[in-house]
Homo-oligomer: A and B are copies of this chain.
């Protein structure tokens, strides 16, 4: 595409009215303003609404082919099937699509990009699409990627503590409604008492999430795996460029509004030291090392929510393996886990139009 170096690129935000869309508009208002026009796109139902971005009210337009006319970069945050249909339409018009659905993440012709880990991958995009990873992968991969660059990752075992906003606004509303039902009660001490109190108000979750943890996220895949677990494994491998990396994952939903946490057991090619691991994490872009248990310092969702970096703490060398490290990691699933990484990829790509 011939672009004058003076022109600032035009951005479309597709899915501007969703919960990730809302955070995207916030981030676009906070980051250095590199964009020319910002066009807000959503379903026909939401067309005509006005949303604020960069301090201005912008009217939402309905998704159709013509909205991509003159657009340089489009961020998509819409359901998988909508992305599958519309991202290629936009790409065919020369738009670089940054897609936050699962539709293209494992397509070998679509790079899966985390700017702190594999920024180079964003330059090679045969289909004109760059994919944004799943929020659970994103909540830990910046920290893991920094350690991998130094030590060479050999194996990963992770368990998630996933926030309800990973299931969208319905997830948040469900937890809040359930908390109102159980607060001020003596529930949580006999079989099924929480379930009876919650009744059929389980929203997008298979079980109550208040006063409970639920070892399920996503849909059922082969051999008892959840789609969320397969994403964490397959996407980690692709981002790190380690297609045969052994990855074990169990994904669990917890009663936290926003910010995913993960325990990470990582084994490397050679011996590691906690001191060197801390140095790496303390200086890695996009990572905050918060790790002083003697002073009561370790990351929790209550600290990390609403912030950009991946918070890392509880850094220990594995007791029985000098090549292993144990970590506890927190990342805001709506920011780095979705909107922020999408914005970072778009900004990376925008550099090509300068």
A residues with a Cβ closer than 8 A to B are: 157, 159, 161, 176, 179-180, 182-184, 186-195, 206-208, 211-216, 220, 223-226, 233, 244-250, 252, 254-258, 261, 263, 265, 274, 291, 293-294, 296, 298-307, 313-321, 324, 326, 328
Contact = CB atoms under 8 A, between A and B. Distances in A.
B252 A263 contact: yes
Contacts of A315: 224
B191 A303 contact: yes
Question: For the complex formed by this chain, how many copies does it contain in all?
Answer: 2
Nearest 6 A-B pairs (CB), nearest first? A188-B257, A183-B183, A246-B320, A159-B159, A215-B328, A159-B263
A33 B244 CA distance: 57
Most buried by B among A213, A220, A249: A213
Nearest to A202: B296
Contact of A293 (B191, B224, B307): B224
B258 A188 contact: yes
A32 B195 CA distance: 31
B248 A265 contact: yes
A192 B159 contact: no
A274 B224 contact: yes
B293 A192 contact: no
A294 B226 CA distance: 10
Given A180-B184, A215-B261, A302-B211, A319 B225 contact: yes
A214 B257 CA distance: 14
A10 to B, nearest CB: 31
Contacts of A263: 159, 215, 250, 252
6 contacts: A180-B183, A180-B184, A188-B301, A207-B296, A233-B319, A255-B255
B324 A248 contact: yes
B298 A194 contact: no
A300 B157 CA distance: 21
A142 B316 CA distance: 27
B215 A300 contact: yes
A321 to B, nearest CB: 6
Contacts of A294: 220
A214 B305 contact: no
A326 B248 contact: yes
Contacts of A255: 211, 254-255
Contacts of A220: 293-294
B159 A300 contact: no
A303 to B, nearest CB: 6
A305 to B, nearest CB: 6
Contacts of A252: 161, 261, 263, 328
A328 B248 CA distance: 13
Given A207-B302, A216-B293, 14 more contacts: A179-B182, A179-B183, A191-B306, A207-B300, A215-B314, A216-B314, A224-B316, A246-B320, A248-B318, A248-B319, A248-B324, A254-B254, A255-B255, A265-B265
